Structures are given as C-alpha cells and as structure tokens.
Structure 1
Amino acid sequence: MKRRHFLQSSSMYLAGAALIPTTLSAATKKVSAADKIRVGAIGINGMGWADLTTMIKHPEAECIALCDVDKNVLDKRVAELKAKNINVTAYSDYRKLLENKDIDAVIIGTPDHWHCKIMIDACAAGKDVYCEKPVGNSIVECARMIDAQKKYNRVVQVGQWQRSNKHYADAMEFVHSGKLGNVRLVKAWAYQGWMKSIPVQPDGPAPAGVDYNMWLGPAEKRPFNPNRFHFNFRWYWDYAGGLMTDWGVHMIDYALLGSKATVPKSIMASGGKFAYPDDAEQTPDTLTTVYDFGNFNMLWEHATGINDGPYQRDHGVAFIGNNGTLVVDRGGWEVIPEVINGSNKMEAVARQPKVDDGLLLHTQNFLDVIKSRKTEDLHCPVQAAAHVATVCQMGNIAFRVGKKIYWDDAKKNFTDNEANDLLLAKYHNGYELPKV
C-alpha cells in the first residue's frame, strides 16, 4: 500500500467556516425539470431512507432510483414513494444503479463495510455522493476515499449533519473565543439507554428476498445470523466499529473542532462487555478511551443500557477550561463557570437551545454545492469526515490490541505492528480495496 496523506491541510479537515448553515430553499420555490438534481439511494432501511426523504423535501432534488439487497425493504420503499406520486427504478445491485446515466447523485446508506467501495465506484461513475457516517470502516479506507474524491473531482458530503446546526457553530465560536481559559481536558460521550442487550440467536437461512452474498460483499463469509443483519450490524467488527464509530464520529468531531486538533500522539482504551457479557454483540458495550494530543487530553466514554452520562446528558461534548466548562449536545449548549472561594471565574451562559433542523440544512448544503461545484462550501467534506473517523478508529484499535499505542504522523501508521495490522479492514470474497 502506498502511504498517502489521509489528512490534508488543517484548514480543510478542521473547516470551521463549513459549520455555518446555509439558507434553506423556500418551500414554494419552483425548479424546472432541467435543473433538477436526480438522486438514487443505495441502502434504504435506516439512515439512508431518512437522508433520502429529507433530501427530496428540497424542490431541486428528485428521486429516480432505489437500491437495496433486501427485496422486502426495497418493495416497501418503492410503494411509499409511489404513494407520494414518485415513481422510481428499483435495483438490487448498486453497480446497475451507477450505470444509470440519468442519476446525478447517490446516497449511500449501507452498512459501514460497504461505504468505501460504493463511494469510490460512484465517484468513478461520475456521481456526486452523500455518504452516511462513519465514512470509512478503517483508517486506510478513509485515506483512499479522500484520494477518490480528489481524483474524480466529485462533491462528497458525509452525513455528520450536526455540522449544519447553528447552535453547534455558536458553541465552537465561544470555545475559540478563549473565555473558558486554558482547556486541558475535553470529554465526549454517548450513553445510550435505549440500546439493550442482543440475545444470542442461532445461524440459519437468510430471509426470502435477501441477497445475502451481496450484503456481505467484502466482509468475511459467515452463515446468516439475524443479529448481524440490519440495525445490529454495527456491533460486529466485520461490518462496523460499535458505538465508538456510530456516535463517536458525531461527538468526537466537535471535540476536535473546538480544540483545533489534528491527530493524537497516543491512545489507550479500556472497556468490554460489562453490561451484557453473555449477549451476541462483539464490540464493547462500555468503553473509556484517552487520547493524548500533547497539550490536552480528550476522553471518550460510551455505554449502552445507561442514559445518565456526564452533566446529566446521554450524549455531548464538554470543554473543561480553567475559567469554566462549555457543554454542548444536540439540544443546545451552556457554560458552567468555575467557582473559587464562592466567586465565579467567568459569567455563566444559560442554555442556548437548538434552533434548526440539522439534517434538512445538511442535505440542502449538499444540493447547493452540487450546483455551485464549490466543494470548499461543504459542511462535512470527505476530508473532515475521514479525519474524525480515523481518530475513532484509533480508539477501537487501542481497545482491540489491549495496550497504549503511539501514532507516527510522518509515516501515517502506529509504532506497534499489532496495531498496524488493523489499519485496513480485510477484504474477502474476491473483493479488493479499490485502487485510485
């Protein structure tokens, strides 16, 4: 493998300007057929469907194709669109969808292990791409996806839609103001009480209508098991990275943005299946990860089956400074002053609530940039998404090797061979990491 820089200039992957939301198109805006952006969606059971149904609320977007390896899901979604007088072509193989010359852009809502190949194939086919997070399922994949965007000069937005919420941008502006004083510790977390134990189930035949071989794609060949299918794929290393990559790319993204941080010098992680030791998932249900950036530490925590996280929030980011702490989550942000001898070291800031719809703004931003071709205006370009996904993957690698690991940024690898073995998710079944 050629070691390419998976991180471009700091102005690109820490893009603060890209956090400012665009103005939504008016609901009554008329768009001619010639000016429509024709969209196809690949993987439409969960967030891929949410992305699509939000995107077509904008008058310039038109859905003309759907693809899913589960015919049951595909038929259901085709019928839902038909009920809205939207007629689409249905595909079970994404490669056939990409051959459709009428499609301008695609949404990728598949399990994580498919993101890299489909995104690169879509760029090579001349399509712009809205890809769900995490952008890649390994550090090497993240690098290769940046290379593809650059080579094919496509618009690639990643579904970290919080980057389009105004209250997050306002919170980052406050952090950057210096009012918190020296920020030595940043906490990011996801406590997900609604995510319960997954009971062990036996292997068996794939459901009727499911192209299981296509669902596996580059993942290791295994018998079908319902626990690994649809939503729960995220708890298996073959396909994803657990809560660290599922929620971490959202929360750690803002930890990095607020700190103007690049990559850590070292990472250590401890956790395991402490809540549900005998259930079916592989990834840890409880994890604590410490990243050393040289002049500050970042702490990641996650837990399933628990809602009450730090600051009585089930998710969030806290910037802990000498003068006070800023806490931000999807609902808003506030500042809690440090109190010394009964006196506040700074003024408190009451909770500033969310004021907009991040996903609606994020999809609008994607459409706007498709028209302008000014990729620097994207709220979450692939470079930014690859940066945070890489940092999250580092945390998972530290957990999996069970030791403190050190990153050599000049060589773009770890100083530990065992950790380097996990830089790339292995490809199987005749699939290879796409060449760019």
Structure 2
Amino acid sequence: GRLKQIRVGLASDNRDNNGCASQTGTTPVPEGLNYEMWLGPAPEAPFCPARLHSNWRWFYDYSGGNITDFGAHHLDIVQWALGQDESGPVEFFDLEATWPEKGALYTTPPTFSFAYRYADGTTVRVKDKQDFGSGISFEGEDGSVLCTRGKLEIKPIELRKPLAEGDVRLYESKDHFRNFIDAIRDGVKPAAPIEYAHRSITIAHLANIGLRLNREKLRWDPKAEQIADDAEAAAMLTRPMRGPWQLA
C-alpha cells in the first residue's frame, strides 16, 4: 500500500557517557592531552573533564547533540529508502525542544521533536524517543516496517514474503570498511559515498538551526543548498573559526 508517514526515534540522551559529567569545574589539562589541538577551530574554553569524550556531543561548539549524533545514522536510512540520497527535504516544521538551564555547561537539547517534508509531500517526524524507542518506522496503508540498529520488524507478518523476480533488491552491506577498500581497489562508488553522508547530516544541522532560533518553519532549497527567506538562519550554515585555524 501507499506510504503514509515515517517516524524516527533517536537514542535516549545520555549526558554522562564517561562518568565525568559532574566534573564541570576548571582543572589543569591532564598530561598527554594537547588541549589546544583538541579544541581546534572551536572557541577557546577552560578545560574541565566534563567537556571531553564522549560528552563533547552535548556542546553546540563541537556537535549537535543527539540530533546529529544518531541523526547521521537514522536520517541516512530515510534518505536511502526514499531515493533522496543526493537531495533532501524542502521544509521543516513543528520544531520543539527543551533546553538546559541557563548557565549550564551543556548546550544541546535533551528532548526535542521536529518534522520535515520532501517536495513530493512525504513527511518525516523525528523525536528524541518514539513509542518504539530508537529506530525508523515506515508506516503504510497495509502495515509497517520498523528497522533499528539490530532488528527488522514487519507488521503484519504476512507482508514478509520472498521477493519475486524483478522486485527491487537492496545492496547487502556486510562491512562498511571492506566496502570502502573494495571501492578504492575497483575504482567504483562505495555504498555510502561522502555526498550521501553530507546530505543526511544536513537534515540534522537544519533541524538544530530551526530549534535554536525557535522557528515555526524553515524552508530549504536542496538543489542550491540554501535556506530560503531567512538571513539569520542562513548565516548559521557556517561559523567563524578560531585563529590560526582556517580552511585552505
């Protein structure tokens, strides 16, 4: 049957991945860590253990929270399923988030939800956690397909039947690393080339921009890769780099 909606659940927010989230006070840089190099082009900031691996995810200076962390995986599957690997949505809406308290060390939202729409009308709804947890649910008129990082669930089970001759068959990925090396050796495109990754993570970055600016809607031109009619939002597609770092 016809596809009705797609729902995406990103992983629950764990703000203490390394057991150091409470260590927010400034301390000496530990021996063996080149903190200046670790910061790179990001703004200068005092060292504290809570800033390091893997809690760097919760700082907008370095990342985009769970939206970029797991969005890179799950939103990529949506793009692939819809045949949008080299394009993207045209509009973001229903953007909502809760934010850390003012003055808190971490800056990304612990809970969030947003939706985006493609030019053909297909809508994707994303939350920090759906009723099925983390994964992607493709929901149609006759049933649904839920895929997670470990299982495939089809309802009703009758829909799970062998493919007929001539049906679309997907590439069977056994190992990303092996596929990349084989692509280099054979001079062919890998299963997940960098342009596909760029397009998928763009969705996550755009959602973060809309949430941070408290926008009701955000319009995107996937061909020009520009935000339409919103100069403030468009300016957030890039960020200043702390010297002497620069792109050559």
Same fold, TM-score > 0.5, yes or no:
yes
Aligned residue type for 2:176: H
Deviation at 1:373, TM superposition (A): 2.3
Q: Distance in 2 between matches of 1:252 and 1:193?
A: 17
Q: Distance in 1 between matches of 2:96 and 2:247?
A: 30
What corresponds to 1:263 in structure 2? 88
What corresponds to 2:165 in structure 1? none
What corresponds to 1:320 in structure 2? 139
What corresponds to 1:209 in structure 2? 32
Aligned residue type for 1:367: I
Q: CA RMSD in A?
A: 2.5
What corresponds to 2:166 in structure 1? none
Q: Distance in 2 between matches of 1:237 and 1:292?
A: 25
The partner residue of 2:226 within 395, 407, 413 is 413
What corresponds to 1:161 in structure 2? none
Aligned-residue sequence identity (percent) comes to 27
Deviation at 1:398, TM superposition (A): 0.9
Cα separation, partners in 2 of 1:427 and 1:193, compared to 1, 3 Å: closer
Deviation at 1:212, TM superposition (A): 0.8
What corresponds to 1:3 in structure 2? none
Cα separation, partners in 2 of 1:277 and 1:200, compared to 1, 3 Å: farther
TM-score norm. by structure 2 comes to 0.83
The partner residue of 2:54 within 202, 223, 231 is 231
User: Contact 2:13–2:110 (CA<8 Å) still a contact in 1?
Assistant: no
Deviation at 1:433, TM superposition (A): 2.7
What corresponds to 2:72 in structure 1? 249
User: Contact 2:138–2:145 (CA<8 Å) still a contact in 1?
Assistant: yes
What corresponds to 1:164 in structure 2? none
The partner residue of 1:429 within 234, 240, 243 is 243
User: Contact 1:334–1:349 (CA<8 Å) still a contact in 2?
Assistant: no
Alignment partner of 1:189 is 2:9: yes
The residue correspondences of 1:144-163 to structure 2 (distance < 5 A) are none
The partner residue of 2:211 within 393, 399, 420 is 399
What corresponds to 1:273 in structure 2? 99
Aligned residue type for 2:3: V
What corresponds to 1:85 in structure 2? none
Q: Distance in 2 between matches of 1:193 and 1:245?
A: 12
Cα separation, partners in 2 of 1:368 and 1:411, compared to 1, 3 Å: closer
Aligned residue type for 1:263: G
Q: Distance in 2 between matches of 1:254 and 1:273?
A: 27
Q: Distance in 1 between matches of 2:59 and 2:106?
A: 6
Kindly tell me the number of residue pairs found equivalent between the two proteins. 229
Aligned residue type for 1:188: V
User: Contact 1:220–1:429 (CA<8 Å) still a contact in 2?
Assistant: no
Q: Distance in 1 between matches of 2:24 and 2:82?
A: 43
> Which structure 1 residue ranges, 4+ long, deviate > 2 Å from structure 2?
191-200, 276-280, 346-350, 408-412
Q: Distance in 2 between matches of 1:429 and 1:224?
A: 18
Deviation at 1:315, TM superposition (A): 1.4
Aligned residue type for 1:406: R
The partner residue of 2:131 within 310, 317, 332 is 310
User: Contact 1:245–1:389 (CA<8 Å) still a contact in 2?
Assistant: yes
Aligned residue type for 1:310: D
Q: Distance in 2 between matches of 1:244 and 1:236?
A: 12
What corresponds to 1:369 in structure 2? 183
TM-score norm. by structure 1 comes to 0.49
The structure carrying a bigger helix percent of its residues is 1
Larger radius of gyration: 1
Cα separation, partners in 2 of 1:422 and 1:364, compared to 1, 3 Å: same
User: Unpaired runs of 5+ in structure 1?
Assistant: 1-180, 304-308, 338-345, 351-356
Q: Distance in 1 between matches of 2:28 and 2:243?
A: 19
User: Unpaired runs of 5+ in structure 2?
Assistant: 162-171
Q: Distance in 2 between matches of 1:200 and 1:230?
A: 13
Cα separation, partners in 2 of 1:411 and 1:384, compared to 1, 3 Å: closer
Report which structure shows greater RCO (CA 8 Å, sep ≥6).
2
Spell out, residue by residue over 1:373-427, the C-alpha distance to the aligned partner (whole angstroms, 9 max, x if none).
22x2x12111111110111111111111110111134542112111111101321
Spell out, residue by residue over 1:352-383, the C-alpha distance to the aligned partner (whole angstroms, 9 max, x if none).
xxxxx97x711111221222222x2x121111
What corresponds to 2:169 in structure 1? none
User: Contact 1:266–1:407 (CA<8 Å) still a contact in 2?
Assistant: yes
